């Protein structure tokens, strides 16, 4: 099939109409098309057969044979397959598209994670859930309502990995091998922790690449070395030569002229 871009309908190889006209047709890899009309969104097959008549729906990206299906009439969300069949009931208040075979879903005001058959991976009891980065992921950053912080949660062991939480965090290994980016309470306070949960680069940076660079510089030092305030300033000075040296804190001033 080809998409007739001027008429927004499907035509076959003989240039015969294979579907009715739609306001928009968006092809998927899973042998179906998401379509749009003034009535809303719907789904058709590659041969133009209507699978879901357009209505007050939102249909997400096709991932792992599943598409988010949100009913605008009542705000409920579930998932359909490429035949338009509802394979995971619309029992959620919100949902994300599937990533690595898992999807974040919201029940009431709490978030959890399910797999492609709807089985629960994480119970919906968290205020937020961090990135899904791998199909065999065992640890997730979750928001805990008791302290409004993000904690690393081991879903196999059913417990937090570290006793402390952080204002924000990215998955281990995404930016730095065996380390995780964390954020502080104030904007532009980015640092990182190691696998022990120890802050190895304090949240003094406003860009992730600078934290990565700082971590690499620290890794090149002798074992047990600590990242010092002067190290932060030197790195900032490297990226901003116009930085005013006279505005250093007392902690740094004694070391400044060694640089």
Q: Torsion angle, CA of 162/167/170/176, rounded to 10 degrees?
A: -80
What does the pLDDT look like over 18-77, one tens digit per residue? 788 888 888 876 789 999 999 999 999 988 999 999 999 999 999 999 999 999 999 999
184 — pLDDT class (breaks 50, 70, 90): confident
CA distance 222 to 129: 36
Q: Which residue would you say has higher pLDDT here, 258 or 108?
A: 108
Residue pair 49/43 in contact by the 8 Å Cβ criterion: no
Structural Rg of the chain based on CA atoms? 25
Annotate 206-244 with b (16+ C-beta within 10 A) or e (fewer).
eebebbbbbbeebeeeeeeeebeebbbbbbeeeeeeeee
Please tell me the pTM assigned to this model. 0.83
On the question of pLDDT at 246 being above 80, the answer is: no
What is the pLDDT, as a whole number, of residue 257?
A: 40
What is the pLDDT, as a whole number, of residue 251?
A: 46
Average pLDDT over residues 223-249: 81
Q: Which residue would you say has higher pLDDT here, 180 or 184?
A: 180
């Amino acid at each position: 099939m080809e998409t007739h871009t001027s008429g927004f309908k499907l035509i076959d190889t003989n240039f015969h109409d294979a579907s009715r006209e739609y306001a928009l047709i968006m092809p998927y890899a899973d042998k179906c098309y998401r379509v749009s009309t003034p009535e809303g969104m719907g789904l058709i097959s590659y041969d133009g057969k209507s699978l879901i008549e357009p209505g007050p729906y939102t249909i997400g990206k096709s991932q792992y044979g599943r598409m988010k299906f949100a009913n605008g009439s009542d705000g409920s969300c579930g998932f359909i397959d490429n035949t338009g069949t509802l394979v995971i009931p619309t029992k959620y208040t919100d949902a994300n598209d599937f990533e690595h075979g898992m999807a974040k879903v919201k029940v009431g005001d709490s978030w959890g994670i399910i797999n492609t058959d709807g089985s629960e991976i994480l119970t919906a009891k968290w205020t937020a859930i961090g990135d899904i980065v791998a199909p065999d992921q065992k640890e997730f950053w979750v928001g805990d309502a008791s302290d409004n912080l993000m904690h690393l949660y081991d879903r196999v062991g059913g417990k937090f990995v570290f006793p402390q939480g952080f204002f924000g965090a990215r998955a281990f290994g995404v930016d730095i091998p065996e380390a995780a980016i964390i954020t502080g309470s104030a904007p532009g306070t980015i640092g990182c922790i190691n696998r022990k949960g120890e802050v190895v680069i304090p949240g003094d940076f406003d860009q992730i690449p600078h934290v990565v660079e700082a971590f690499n510089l620290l890794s090149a030092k002798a074992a047990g070395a600590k990242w010092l305030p002067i190290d932060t300033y030197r790195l900032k000075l490297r990226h901003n030569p116009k930085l005013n040296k006279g505005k250093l804190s007392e902690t740094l001033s004694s070391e400044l002229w060694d640089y």
